[in-house]
Amino acid sequence: MRLDGKVAFVTGGGSGIGKAGAKAMAAAGAFVIVSDRDGATATQTAEEIHDGGGRASSVALDMTDSGAVEESLRAAISHHGRLDILHSHAGIQIEGRLEQVTPEQMDASWVLNVRSHFVAARAVVPQMRTQGGGSIIITASNSGVQYDADMIAYATTKHAAVAMVRQIAKDYARDNIRVNALCPGFIDTPFNAGFERQMGGREKLEAYVSHAIPMGRFGSTDEIAAAIVYLASDASRFMTGTAFVIDGGECL
Residues catalogued as catalytic: 154
Rounded-to-integer distance, Cα 182 and Cα 165, Å:
10
Q: Side chain identity at 23, as an amino acid letter?
A: K
Q: DSSP 3-state assignment of 59?
A: strand
- If we measure between CA atoms, which residue out of 173, 5, 165, 183 comes closest to residue 84? 5
Cβ atoms of residues 118 and 104 within 8 Å: no
SS3 of 178-204: EEEEEEECCECCHHHHHHHHHHCCHHH
Q: Side chain identity at 180, as an amino acid letter?
A: N
